Amino acid sequence: MCKVCGCGEGEVRIEAAGGVPSAEHDHTHGRGHRHDDDLHFGHGPAGVTVAGMDQGRLVRIEQDILAKNASFADENRAFLDGLGILALNLVSSPGAGKTTLLVETIKALNGKRPIAVIEGDQETSNDAERIRATGVAAVQINTGRGCHLDAHMVGHAFESLLLEPGALLFIENIGNLVCPAGFDLGEAHKVVILSVTEGDDKPIKYPDIFAAADLMLVSKLDLLPHTDFDLEGCIEKARRVNPRIETIVLSARSGEGMEAWLDWIMARQG
């Protein structure tokens, strides 16, 4: 376990394409930790007076609790920007159809762009294998008991992926509508996927993730006639928690709406 950043703690495993865990890294993280940055520690003792307290014992800090994740995410973003890579962080509950959508998206793009995929799951490399079957490189991150990907894990996954300039990088987060909302991975956009079999009130039941996303994909449109899902109501609820959110309704199985999704991606990749 890394004593500096704690990485390797718990059960996180990053498996490269050959099924071989990535070599133990040297903890320079290529782009460097910032543990020695004086910016974090520049306030010095106190700076305020509290009655009955020795100034030397109270330390003003005023720092984001997830500052460490944020700094890893900044490094990831700078790395991706440098290569002109568009990274999308796909979030949804388990079973919303993220992997199926991803497979169909890769097929539809049909080699027009270099594509790489980072798959996050608690266990198994089933999803990465499904992606690799399309001919695209995929790295599987298993988080063990972890409920979300963080920027540090994703930064290490970059080491196992051959990322071509101008590529499209899909990061499929752990199936979870709660925890991934709070963790910036360095992506350009969070894309939340909600299937019509889940219920149209999910945006107000799990508002954090819909508030954090730039795009909502309503998936499994082909199943809509078999459900009571209120499509318009769902979109209205999503806009209530996030007035800026865009929406595309699609079915990876029937292909309906896929064109709009591909156009959305291409418009962002430039």
Interface ranges with other proteins (CB under 8 A): 6, 35, 40-41, 45, 53-54, 56-69, 145-148, 150, 178-179, 181-183, 204, 207-208, 211, 239-244
* Residue with Cβ nearer other proteins (239 or 253): 239
Gap between the Cα atoms of 156 and 154, Å rounded: 5
Q: Which two tokens stand for residue 270?
A: 């430039």
Do 239 and 214 meet the contact criterion of CB atoms below 8 Å apart?
Answer: no
Residues 179, 184, 186, 187, CA torsion sign? positive
* Residue with Cβ nearer other proteins (69 or 251): 69
* Residue with Cβ nearer other proteins (67 or 133): 67
Between vectors from CA 256 to CA 255 and to CA 257, what angle results, nearest 5°? 110
* Residue with Cβ nearer other proteins (43 or 253): 43
* Residue with Cβ nearer other proteins (19 or 45): 45
Q: What's the closest the beta carbon of residue 46 comes to other proteins, in angstroms?
A: 9
Q: What's the closest the beta carbon of residue 58 comes to other proteins, in angstroms?
A: 5
- State residue 172 phi and psi, 5-degree precision: -90, 110
Nearest to 170 by CA among 124, 211, 218, 134: 134
How big is the chain, counted in residues?
A: 270
Q: How far does Cα 9 stand from its chain's mean position?
A: 20
Q: What's the closest the beta carbon of residue 45 comes to other proteins, in angstroms?
A: 5
* Residue with Cβ nearer other proteins (28 or 57): 57
Q: What's the closest the beta carbon of residue 57 comes to other proteins, in angstroms?
A: 5
Q: What's the closest the beta carbon of residue 231 comes to other proteins, in angstroms?
A: 20
Q: Strands 168-172, 86-92: parallel, antiparallel or unpaired by DSSP?
A: parallel
Q: What's the closest the beta carbon of residue 244 comes to other proteins, in angstroms?
A: 5
Q: Which two tokens stand for residue 225?
A: 């006639």
**Which string of DSSP letters, residue by residue, matches 169-236?**
EEEE--S-SSGGGG---S-SEEEEEEETTS-TTHHHHSHHHHHH-SEEEEE-GGGGGGS---HHHHHH
* Residue with Cβ nearer other proteins (228 or 232): 232
Q: What's the closest the beta carbon of residue 257 comes to other proteins, in angstroms?
A: 25
